[in-house]
Each structure stands twice: as structure tokens, then as C-alpha cells.
């Protein structure tokens, strides 16, 4: 599918690509390369996972590399947050087991 030059957003791209122009949240991800304009410039379909906004825009390699770095950083932050949540969940389960044990609700015949 070919897009006319008029269909492609250009010029408003002073903010980082991972920030949504609509909801201003950092949840924009690339969906596909729609067209190649030059050796280092592409028309990219971008999608915001927060507000579902989908756009076509033209970007140079360096902008897309920056978006890729932001996605890697965001993924690392999500993984770190998930590890904290899992650790807290484990600690809560240990506390509940300990409380049940001290209250006499867990007996040897339960195992």
C-alpha cells in the first residue's frame, strides 16, 4: 500500500516518538514499516497502547533507534516492577502462612 506524501505526519516530531501526541503517555510502539522514503527514512505506523491512537509518520533511522532504546528501557522497568510485585506477593503469602501456623489453623495432617 502506497501513501501519498500528504497522508504522512511530518514536522510535529520534536517530542520523543515514545510519547503519545494525544494522551502524552510513554506507550507508543511501532507496528510496521509502511514505506521506505530514502535509504535512512521510513514511513512508520505507530500505535499508542494507552489511548489506541494509530498514526503514520515519516522518521529517520536515528529517531527510530531512539524509540528502540526507549522501548528497551521501558521493558526493563516493567520487568523490574514485576519482580518487585512478585517478591511482595511472596512475602504476603509467607506472612499469611505464618499467621495461620501461629493461630493453629495448619496441622501436621494437612501435609
Q: Applying CB under 5 A, which residues contact Zn ion?
A: 20, 22-23, 48, 50-51, 53
Nearer to Zn ion, 24 or 69 (CB): 24
Q: Between residues 19 and 64, which has the closer beta carbon with respect to Zn ion?
A: 19
Give 19-61 as a 3 state SS string: CCCCCCCCCEEEEEEEEEEECCEEEEEEEECCCCCEEEEEEEH
Cβ distance to Zn ion smaller for residue 51 or 64: 51
Question: For residue 45, which of 64, 62, 70 has the smallest C-alpha distance?
Answer: 64
Q: How far is the CB of 65 from Zn ion (least distance, A)?
A: 22
Smallest distance from Zn ion to CB 40, Å: 27
The minimum distance between CB 55 and Zn ion, in angstroms, equals 10
d(Cα 86, Cα 6) in Å, to the nearest integer? 48
Amino acid at each position: 500500500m502506497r501513501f501519498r506524501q500528504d497522508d504522512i505526519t511530518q514536522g510535529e516530531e520534536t517530542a520523543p516518538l515514545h510519547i503519545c501526541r494525544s494522551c502524552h503517555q510513554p506507550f507508543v510502539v511501532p507496528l510496521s514499516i509502511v514505506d521506505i522514503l530514502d535509504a535512512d527514512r521510513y514511513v512508520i505506523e505507530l500505535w499508542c497502547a494507552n489511548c489506541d491512537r494509530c498514526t503514520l509518520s515519516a522518521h529517520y533511522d536515528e529517531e527510530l533507534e531512539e524509540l528502540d532504546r526507549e522501548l528497551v528501557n521501558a521493558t526493563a522497568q516493567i520487568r523490574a516492577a514485576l519482580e518487585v510485585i512478585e517478591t511482595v506477593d511472596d512475602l504476603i503469602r509467607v506472612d499469611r502462612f505464618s499467621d495461620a501456623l501461629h493461630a493453629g489453623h495448619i496441622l501436621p495432617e494437612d501435609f
